[in-house]
Structure 1
Amino acid sequence: MATDIKDAVHAVEAAAVMGLLPARPRLLALGEPTHGEDALLDLRNELFRQLVEEEGYRTITLESDCVSGLVVDDYITSGAGSLDEVMERGFSHDWGASAANRELVRWMRAHNARADDDGRPASEPVRFAGFDGPLEITHAASPRRALTSLHDYLSAQVDAELLPCTADALDRLLGADDRWTDPAAMLDPARSVGQSAEAGRLRLLADDLVALLDQQMPHLVTTTSRDDWDRARLYGRTATGLLRYHHSMADTSPARMTRLVAVRDQMMAHNLLALAERGPTLAHAQNAHLQRERSSMRMWEGPVEWWSAGALVSARLGGEYAFVSTALGTIRHRGVDTPPADTVEGLLYALPEDRCVVDAPRLATALGDTRPVPRVSPWFGYAPFDPGHLANSDGIVFLKDVRRAEQSSAPVGRRGRAGS
């Protein structure tokens, strides 16, 4: 049995990940079981560098605000702003404070600057994107930024009589932004403005603006650029998604939280599909947002289940979507100690490699009738690998030990290989 398991194990390299797949996917998703550990992000950085240099990938997208992410992409592609400003303004969920994320942005900008010096075509720069909505667990952003940006783009390019409203009308309907961002609305639906008459009117106008953007595509991509039109599409997706999310925040039914988490992952899925249209993309987020199976979580209102962004994208792209989850042995500074031997993590922890890429379907075959049991984490911030997902994952990246000392970020792509 041990020999069979070892046959499913490879070094942590992009080539090994791609070797698990029948063809290069348009969207390769790399999940993580916990947030906030730069050791995981250093590994992600290394794999992305290899995917760029060896496999033709050009975009990385993270579980971060899709609109704020435009600041990062502008810096990476053109040098606009400073690295400090980008890390402060370009990320949500405090990801900008991560040393590994800072190193990723620094490397991507340097890569594009080298390309400029080498005279490579402009079509080859690496790109950055966030694919989460402008959302936090406590509140959601006002739709103002997305709606007004979309309206500004259209009003500069199409006849005024085609627009469904004026900028002043939008402003009046939006009102004060703090009405939308009130954190009390997450716990009290009555505090949400999402089902007000103004919000209902804004949903109709947002739909009309998105429809106009599509109707005018031949004109717009010629008079502006495909990148500008894609950015306007992002504003449109974000505006309609946020208005839908706020509408669900005002819901008083028992399905309220299920609707909220489902809308969030739907927004993620739409952003991922748009990025996949652009070319081969690496997506990085929590495993639950990228897995093919139905996701679940316990909230203050009880358990919720929903289809993740990965499940939605996989249903659309089929074999052009691949999902590789990350599993961990220990995070001792979080109280997560050596995994039990009868869990997936325990089986992999017994191997000599400090980190490895695992052929998940082959491992499932090698285990035969042996059924690993689910691991139970003593720390709420870490979600162990679900053994029921083994056969449906394309692969697993396994790290034996995540140590606090490893959290000082290494240069992209300069970490040791498996077993070293």
Structure 2
Amino acid sequence: MATDIKDTAHAVEAAAVMRLLPARPRLLALGEPTHGEDALLDLRNELFRRLVEQEGYRTIAIESDCLRGLVVDDYVTSGTGTLDEAMERGFSHGWGASAANRELVRWMRAYNVRADSDGRPVSERLRFAGFDGPLEITHAASPRQALTALHGYLAARVDPDLLPCTADILDRLLGTDDRWTDTAAMTDPARSVGQSAEAGRLRLLADDLVALLDAQTPHLLAATSRDDVERARLYGRTAAGLLRYHHWMADTSPARMARLCALRDVMMADNLLAAAARGPVLVHAHNSHLQREKSTMRMWEGPVEWWSAGALVSARLGEEYAFVATALGTIRHRGVGTPPPDTVEGLLYALPEDRCVVDAPRLAAVLGDARPAPRVSPWFGYAPLDPARLAGNDGVVFVKDVPQS
């Protein structure tokens, strides 16, 4: 069996990943089983560079706030602001402090200006996208930024009589942002404003504004640009998604947390599908957001399960979606030592390579009924590979040892 497993492993290169797939996918998803390790982000950067140079990929999407990501995209495409500003304002979850993320943004900007003094043609420029909603595990953002940006875009370009409300009415209904971002609302539904009369009115107005955007698309494309219209669509779906999320934060039913997790991944999936409409995308996020199977998590209210963004996108795109999970051997600075030999990670740890990409369905076939035991992590921040789900992945990238960042 050891020889058979070795035969499924290859160097982590774009060509090796592509050989696992029937055709170049529109969305190639690379998962990670833990966050915050620059060694994994360095690997992601290296793979993205090769996908750009060899396979025509032009967009990378990461698990970060979709509105903040516009700051990074503006910097890499047109040089708006500075690298420091892009890192400070363009990432959520504190990921702007990552050296690997900084190197990614620096390289993308350099690539876009490298061709000549005018930079690359617009169609060939690299694009950056955050595809998460403006959400944290502790709270959700106010819908103000997205809703007022959408209203402002439309107010400047369509007949005022077509607008469902004025900017002043929006401002009054939104109130102060701290009403929306109260961290206590995550565990106490009574603290949420999501089912207030004002929030209900805002949901209807957001729907009307998105419908107006759709109805005026031909005019708006002529008056501005496709990128401007797509940005307005991002504002619209983000405003609607946040208002929906806040509504269910005020829910008191047993399904509350499962619904909130599902709504977050619906927002992720919508953003990924929008990015894929421009051309092929490398997506990087936690394995649990990208897998085709249901995701599960134990929370303070008990276990919850929901369909991941990857499952939702896969249902829409079929073979144009591909998922390569990442599995790890050790993260010794987190207390994760050598994996037991009877786990998938243990079998891969015995291979001589420090990093390899494995044909997951073929590996599952080699293992057959002798399914390895699930690995148990001593650290909550690392999610081991589920051997029962191995065949549902297109590939597995294995990293033997993760050094401290």
Partner of 1:235 in structure 2? Answer: 235
Partner of 2:26 in structure 1? Answer: 26
1:2 shift after superposition: 1.4
Q: 1:145-156 residue pairs with structure 2 within 5 A? A: 145-156=145-156
Q: 1:142 to 1:337 in 2, by over 3 A?
A: same
1:115 shift after superposition: 2.8
SS class of match (1:117): coil
Assess if the C-alpha contact under 8 Å between 2:112 and 2:120 holds in 1. no
Q: 1:116 to 1:123 in 2, by over 3 A?
A: farther
Partner of 2:257 in structure 1? Answer: 257
Q: 1:191 to 1:118 in 2, by over 3 A?
A: closer
Partner of 1:220 in structure 2? Answer: 220
Structure 2 CA distance, aligned partners of 1:118 and 1:68? 26
Structure 2 CA distance, aligned partners of 1:369 and 1:168? 65
Partner of 2:286 in structure 1? Answer: 286
For structure 2, the 5+ residue unaligned runs are: none
Partner of 2:101 in structure 1? Answer: 101
The one-letter code matched in structure 1 to 2:195 is Q
1:122 shift after superposition: 2.1
SS class of match (1:151): helix
Partner of 2:310 in structure 1? Answer: 310
Partner of 1:343 in structure 2? Answer: 343
SS class of match (2:326): strand
Assess if the C-alpha contact under 8 Å between 1:59 and 1:280 holds in 2. yes
Assess if the C-alpha contact under 8 Å between 1:12 and 1:397 holds in 2. yes
Structure 2 CA distance, aligned partners of 1:116 and 1:28? 30
The one-letter code matched in structure 2 to 1:136 is E
Partner of 1:46 in structure 2? Answer: 46
1:119 shift after superposition: 5.9
Structure 2 CA distance, aligned partners of 1:354 and 1:55? 25
The one-letter code matched in structure 2 to 1:23 is A
Partner of 1:366 in structure 2? Answer: 366
SS class of match (1:342): coil
Structure 1 CA distance, aligned partners of 2:322 and 2:375? 24
Partner of 2:394 in structure 1? Answer: 394
The one-letter code matched in structure 1 to 2:140 is A
Structure 2 CA distance, aligned partners of 1:334 and 1:26? 35
Partner of 2:55 in structure 1? Answer: 55
Assess if the C-alpha contact under 8 Å between 1:48 and 1:60 holds in 2. yes
Q: 1:90 to 1:363 in 2, by over 3 A?
A: same
Partner of 1:81 in structure 2? Answer: 81
Structure 1 CA distance, aligned partners of 2:219 and 2:361? 48
Structure 1 CA distance, aligned partners of 2:368 and 2:261? 35
The one-letter code matched in structure 2 to 1:324 is V
Confirm whether residue 384 of structure 1 aligns to residue 384 of structure 2.
yes
Structure 1 CA distance, aligned partners of 2:99 and 2:254? 41
Give the CA RMSD over aligned residues.
0.8
How many residues are treated as equivalent by the alignment? Answer: 405
Q: 1:120 to 1:88 in 2, by over 3 A?
A: closer
Partner of 1:301 in structure 2? Answer: 301
1:111 shift after superposition: 0.4
What do the CA deviations read for 1:98-146 (whole angstroms, capped 9, x no partner)? 0000000000000001034386422100000000000001111000000
Structure 1 CA distance, aligned partners of 2:74 and 2:379? 38
Structure 1 CA distance, aligned partners of 2:116 and 2:150? 31
Structure 1 CA distance, aligned partners of 2:233 and 2:159? 19
Partner of 1:197 in structure 2? Answer: 197
Confirm whether residue 333 of structure 1 aligns to residue 333 of structure 2.
yes
The one-letter code matched in structure 1 to 2:293 is E
Assess if the C-alpha contact under 8 Å between 2:290 and 2:310 holds in 1. yes
Q: 1:68 to 1:194 in 2, by over 3 A?
A: same
What do the CA deviations read for 1:368-398 (whole angstroms, capped 9, x no partner)? 2211111000000000000011111000000
Assess if the C-alpha contact under 8 Å between 2:112 and 2:119 holds in 1. no
The one-letter code matched in structure 2 to 1:157 is R
Output the TM-score relative to the length of structure 1.
Answer: 0.95
1:338 shift after superposition: 0.6
SS class of match (1:115): coil
SS class of match (1:140): coil
Partner of 1:114 in structure 2? Answer: 114
The one-letter code matched in structure 1 to 2:362 is R
For structure 1, the 5+ residue unaligned runs are: 408-420
What do the CA deviations read for 1:216-257 (whole angstroms, capped 9, x no partner)? 111111110000000000000100000000001100111111
The one-letter code matched in structure 1 to 2:121 is P
The one-letter code matched in structure 2 to 1:261 is C
Assess if the C-alpha contact under 8 Å between 1:248 and 1:259 holds in 2. yes
Structure 2 CA distance, aligned partners of 1:286 and 1:362? 23
Assess if the C-alpha contact under 8 Å between 1:76 and 1:108 holds in 2. yes
Assess if the C-alpha contact under 8 Å between 1:115 and 1:125 holds in 2. no
Which 10-residue stretch deviates more, 119-128 or 377-386? 119-128
Structure 1 CA distance, aligned partners of 2:111 and 2:68? 22
